[in-house]
Amino acid sequence: EAQVTQNPRYLITVTGKKLTVTCSQNMNHEYMSWYRQDPGLGLRQIYYSMNVEVTDKGDVPEGYKVSRKEKRNFPLILESPSPNQTSLYFCASTDQLAYEQYFGPGTRLTVT
């Protein structure tokens, strides 16, 4: 089954404790992205990647890091999480021909 998976699905952590949210896709897509979703603000892109070892900033990259060492994986790293990073995070991979983005199930992060 074609899918995008994220782990963990829920995470409560404390300010400053480094964390990684994993994202994996099995559709052989070259393009992958990370979004955060906040009430009233919609989906805002954090980072995107157009290929292995190729990443670029989206609209709200501050406080986040990403890496793309393998085509299927695109982890999101928060080196020093702060409460304003409490949000719902979605990973997505893109069919570069059809342009459709396939979203993962989401990770709800709470930083206290």
Return the range that interacts with other proteins (CB under 8 A); candidates 15-23, 61-69, 79-87, 92-100.
92-100
- Residue 59 binds to other proteins (criterion: CB under 8 A): yes
Q: Are 54 and 70 in contact (CB under 8 A)?
A: no
Q: Are 22 and 7 in contact (CB under 8 A)?
A: yes
Give Cβ neighbours of residue 77 (< 8 Å, ≥ 6 apart).
18, 19, 20, 64, 65, 66, 67
- Residue 61 binds to other proteins (criterion: CB under 8 A): no
- Residue 71 binds to other proteins (criterion: CB under 8 A): no
- List residues near other proteins by CB under 8 A: 31-33, 35, 40-45, 48-50, 56, 58-59, 90, 94-96, 99-101, 103-106
